[in-house]
Amino acid sequence: MIDITVRAAGSDLDKAIHLAREEIYDDTDEAFVKQFLSSTCYPFSQVFVAEDREGEIVGTVTWMVHDVFETQIILEVPIIAVKEELWRQGIGKKLLLDSLKQAKAFWALQGLRVVGFKVHTEEKNNDGPIAFYDAVLAPVTKVLLPDFWEEKGGTYLYHKRMWE
């Protein structure tokens, strides 16, 4: 595993957007990806990056507010991306778990307790993302929902409860 630091994207938001477009949305215009990530403003959307020792951004994750009830909050991960040549080196796991700790700490300061989060990935992504989520999020509830876009296939919804 390479040594990385997970931090809020801050002034590196454009680098995070570029990385997300390169690794996930390669057939989508970068301006559209930027608009998508910027459509929900901080703090309701928090972008984190994984930075290596040389200062290169090698991964990014976005946490968004999914729902709030009284003093409890559920978060959602619409985007997590790691440079493909660095997959299976522990970067995604560290990025997801360290950024979750930071997001939980932020929301605790606002008087809200993170009680769960959700992520989703398409069923056809069986070689990478599904294996990643199965390993990193266990134990987790995983449900296959029918696909909106095609007649066959679907999307896996991962629902993680955190009752600490």
Domain spans in the chain, listed from the N-terminal domain onward: 4-161
- For residue 61, list its beta bridge partners: 48, 80
User: What is the structure's pLDDT at 18?
Assistant: 85
Sequence-ordered list of residues with C-beta below 8 angstroms from that of 119, at least 6 positions apart, any chain:
76, 77, 80, 133, 137, 157, 158
Look at the block and give the residue holding tokens 């990478």: 128
- Alpha carbons within 13 angstroms on the beta-carbon side of residue 56 total 8
Give me the CATH topology for the region 4-161. Answer: Aminopeptidase (3.40.630)
User: What is the structure's pLDDT at 130?
Assistant: 81
User: What is the structure's pLDDT at 102?
Assistant: 96
For the chain, the first-to-last Cα distance in angstroms comes to 29
**For helices 91-109 and 129-137, angle between their N-to-C axes, nearest 10 degrees:** 50
User: What is the structure's pLDDT at 105?
Assistant: 95
User: What is the structure's pLDDT at 13?
Assistant: 87
What is the C-alpha to C-alpha distance for residues 157 and 74, in angstroms, rounded to an integer? 14
What is the C-alpha to C-alpha distance for residues 108 and 110, in angstroms, rounded to an integer? 5
User: What is the structure's pLDDT at 98?
Assistant: 95
pTM, rounded to two decimals: 0.86
User: What is the structure's pLDDT at 79?
Assistant: 86
Question: Which residues, given as ranges, of the chain have pLDDT below 70?
Answer: 1, 26, 36-43, 125-127, 163-164
